[in-house]
Amino acid sequence: MLVLLQTDYHCVSTAAARIIAAWVRRDPALVLGLATGGTTIGMYRELSRMHREEALDFSKVVTFNLDEYIGLAPDHPHSFHSFMHQNFFSHVNIPPAQIHIPDGSIQTGYEEYCASYEAAIREAGGIDLQVLGIGRDGHIGFNEPSSSLASRTRPKTLSRSTLADNCRDFARGEEMPTAAITMGIGTILEARHIMLIASGKAKAKAVAKAIEGPITASVSASALQLHPDVTFVVDEDAARELSQCDYYRRVMEMTAKLTPKRLW
């Protein structure tokens, strides 16, 4: 597990974007797992800039998003489809046929639908790099506390903590979805490489539990400790509850000395 300690949100965003860009340059047909959430916006902005100004080419990249609210049509302004188009897809050159986001507007046949989402990931050759954010309750995707560490893509009821956090995206009086379709923790762990980004004090407890806590279904992100190739890109605020924070700071200093041409 690699912890890349960054000064602030801006540095988290550029470091994460540079890592993704390096993967895309190395393998133009990369299968990229994507996340939504406020934390990812700076990273998508930087990737869009790289596409515009540095000719970063996404034309062969295939993407799979983690999750989508149940009950929202793709064109709903608060759907994750809209989020992704607004913040990323409309700024880069990924052909629409290569973009996959769970469809939250289906009303029946969830089991078959979720199995077909998993099958599409497999047919694409599996996810090479999965990007994750983290919820205050330690969820990844929408795998709320008590999610099985072996779970697959499925509908999931949202926790009170997530409803409280995500209601900021919805207007007062507007009904907020209470469930979502999400990749499972088992699905996420099959990605070849995983990068989780976090910023701000509100994430500090969740980040500490994910990196240093026991592996438990109460904190979905703690399952990442089982993965052989995970990078956490976190800022000082999000890292403040880590007991090993000083160690990660020294690792960064040492890396800066040894590898001046590092990615981040």
Specify whether the CB–CB gap between 231 and 193 falls below 8 A.
Answer: yes
Query: Which residue in 42, 102, 104, 133 binds ligand GLP (CB under 6 A)?
Result: 133
Query: Would you count residue 36 as binding ligand GLP (CB under 6 A)?
Result: yes
Phi, psi of 49 (to 5 degrees): -65, -45
Tokens of 24: 């895309």
Instruction: Work out the angle between the directed axes of helices 80-87 and 40-54 (0-180°, nearest 10).
Output: 40
Query: Would you count residue 141 as binding ligand GLP (CB under 6 A)?
Result: yes
Identify residues 202-261 at the interface with ligand GLP (CB under 6 A).
Answer: none
Stretch of residues binding ligand GLP (CB under 6 A), selected from 1-9, 32-40, 52-60, 248-256: 32-40
What string marks each residue from 152 to 171 as x (binds ligand GLP by CB under 6 A) or -?
A: ----------x---x-----
> Least separation, in Å, of the C-beta of 249 and ligand GLP?
23
Residue that has been written with the tokens 């599409």 in this structure: 120
> Least separation, in Å, of the C-beta of 74 and ligand GLP?
16
Residue that has been written with the tokens 């970063």 in this structure: 56
# binding residues, ligand GLP (CB under 6 A):
14
Query: Would you count residue 5 as binding ligand GLP (CB under 6 A)?
Result: no
Q: Which is nearer to ligand GLP, 13 or 162 (CB)?
A: 162
- Give the CA distances from residue 259 to residues 7, 91, 256, in Å, rounded to whole numbers and listed in that order: 18, 32, 6
Query: Would you count residue 99 as binding ligand GLP (CB under 6 A)?
Result: no
Q: Which is nearer to ligand GLP, 26 or 168 (CB)?
A: 168
Query: Would you count residue 42 as binding ligand GLP (CB under 6 A)?
Result: no
- Give the CA distances from residue 63 to residues 16, 30, 126, 158, 168, in Å, rounded to whole numbers and listed in that order: 16, 8, 11, 24, 27
> Least separation, in Å, of the C-beta of 239 and ligand GLP?
16
Q: Give 28's DSSP letter.
A: T
For residues 50 and 46, what is the distance between their CA atoms, to the nearest angstrom? Answer: 6
Helices and strands counted in the chain (H then E): 9, 10
* Catalytic site positions: 67, 137, 139, 144
For residues 181 and 4, what is the distance between their CA atoms, to the nearest angstrom? Answer: 30
Query: Which residue in 35, 47, 129, 183 binds ligand GLP (CB under 6 A)?
Result: 35
Q: Which residue ranges make up the site for ligand GLP (CB under 6 A)?
A: 35-39, 66-67, 133-135, 141-142, 162, 166
